[in-house]
Amino acid sequence: MSVPTQKASSKAGSAKAATKKVDSTTIKGLTALALGRTEGLEQAVELREVLREQSGLDPRVFALVKIAALVALDAPPASYFMQVQVALAEGAAPREILGVLTAIAPQVGMPRVVAAAPEVMLALDLELPAGTDSPGSM
């Protein structure tokens, strides 16, 4: 695998980021993740299972709670895809995922739920409503 080197950015506002050095181990790790090589994350998967067991929740409920947390945190789109797939694999129904969004709306706010809905739709392999090019354009 060819390891990219850090290059200076000419974009305004990124001068601060360009002045920080990134060590080769970090570059290699990020490159591996960007290429989908997640072997180094086994400990995170093991930790997830330990936390699930300690929570006392069954795997389906645990996965649904994590979707609620993603909405509350205004998580990035990739997070929704992964967690929705986990929830489905653990036996959650798409209707239950909608139920989670409905249940948490008063606590997290309608804008976060509205922003999460297209991400959940994409994770469920549903088409976005006509007139929308991407989740952020709604």
Residue 5's pLDDT is 53
What HEC string does the chain produce? Answer: CCCCCCCCCCCCCCHHHHHCCCCHHHHHHHHHHHCCCCHHHHHHHHHHHHHHHHHCCCHHHHHHHHHHHHHHHCCCHHHHHHHHHHHHHCCCCHHHHHHHHHHHHHHHCHHHHHHHHHHHHHHCCCCCCCCCCCHHHC
Cα distance between residue 94 and residue 129, in whole Å: 17
Cα distance between residue 69 and residue 37, in whole Å: 25
Q: Write out pLDDT tens, residues 40-99.
A: 677 777 788 888 888 899 999 999 999 999 999 999 998 999 999 999 999 999 999 999
89 against 36, higher pLDDT:
89
CB 123 within 8 A of CB 84: yes
Query: Tokens 């392999």 appear where?
Result: 125
Q: How many CB atoms lie within 10 A of CB 63?
A: 24
pTM > 0.85: yes or no: no
Top mean pLDDT of 7-11, 16-20, 118-122, 134-138 is at 118-122
